[in-house]
Structure 1
């Protein structure tokens, strides 16, 4: 009986450890991601466009993509160069210029029945206290938000839907060549949302974390060893 109990505990530990080692499948979503252009490169935004208030000379990028989180999100494919975007727009007193890059994504990332518009850049000239969302609205209407203030559509694209889940057969492409498929019950933190997303680091993984399962396995193993030692002393 004693050997059976210990063997059962060790077997359970091995089963839990095996679960911990198995890869978690992250649910992916189709959504607009939000980026900061700095030094000609793109960095995932740490807050949404309604709260971010960029300075004159900043560049904000928006990319329609498919991914589970910020690490998987496709960056805008246009360079983040302010001079190239706003060089022909003269400065005005009491106003600031924000370069806006709109990348509507690839055909593979598009919702069924829709084709992404051609990427474009705009120079938004707005009040000095304007947010990135207000700069976007100045050059890319109509914008569409959901009840949680998640940015769902820019310049009318896509026509419907908002951060809907994408199953394995619908996976899109980051850059038109790399296949990928944006957890389980919640949309990714896009950076383009006010209220649901701020830093682009939230996504479900469809199951318990490997760290949690590994911890459970360790507890089971230690418990089995303690029982064995106690019974050995009594014997």
Structure 2
């Protein structure tokens, strides 16, 4: 099995490279994530707030944090009950009420020189056809968007920046984070294992082929 032994340094080098790539992928982004309340749990929204048209009685949330991707995104903290949030906002014909949870995150997630406002809730009463962005504009001005319509700031926070990359985000734990369903594991380890199997298999095949011609 000399060829297998000879292949091991190459295998080790490839795995080391892949693991390094996996660590690089741990870098995250500082941004506002958008969530929908479903059955007492937060679900990452599949559309932006400008496209979602919530029904009356809906609870939706926004969380500012550093996250690697949607599977790693940090959920809004605290309770999120429509009857509590909208207790003082009466229903009106032709209008709907949307309960919003606004979580500005932790000091660890804040851009340099900024301090996150306290988490709070709000009840937006808007026209029946209004979007979540419309509801947000009623209760959380000033809002800031970039040229691609990405939500950059709620109630003026943060004062600058929009979805900027933050290196090493995967190496720390964000307060209030719940386990993400479905997960989004780095490809470094599974791909590395696949390369090990592939190269080791090729080495064995070459060894057997050589023995067959002796």
1:30-109 equivalences in 2 (<5 Å): 30-109=30-109
SS of residue paired to 2:22: coil
- Return the alpha-carbon distance in structure 2 between the equivalents of residues 14 and 113 of structure 1: 43
Give 1:201 deviation, angstroms. 8.0
Give 1:8 deviation, angstroms. 2.3
- Return the alpha-carbon distance in structure 1 between the equivalents of residues 63 and 136 of structure 2: 13
Gap change, CA 1:168 and 1:212, over 3 Å in 2? closer
Pick one of 203, 208, 211 that aligns with 1:232.
211
| Residue aligning to 1:209 | 188
- Return the alpha-carbon distance in structure 1 between the equivalents of residues 74 and 194 of structure 2: 34
- Return the alpha-carbon distance in structure 2 between the equivalents of residues 150 and 79 of structure 1: 26
Gaps of 5+ in 1: 179-199
In the TM superposition, structure 1's runs of 4+ consecutive aligned residues that sit over 4 Å from their partners are 17-23, 200-203
- Return the alpha-carbon distance in structure 1 between the equivalents of residues 172 and 19 of structure 2: 27
SS of residue paired to 1:24: helix
- Return the alpha-carbon distance in structure 1 between the equivalents of residues 47 and 184 of structure 2: 13
Gap change, CA 1:173 and 1:221, over 3 Å in 2? closer
| TM-score (norm. length: structure 1) | 0.75
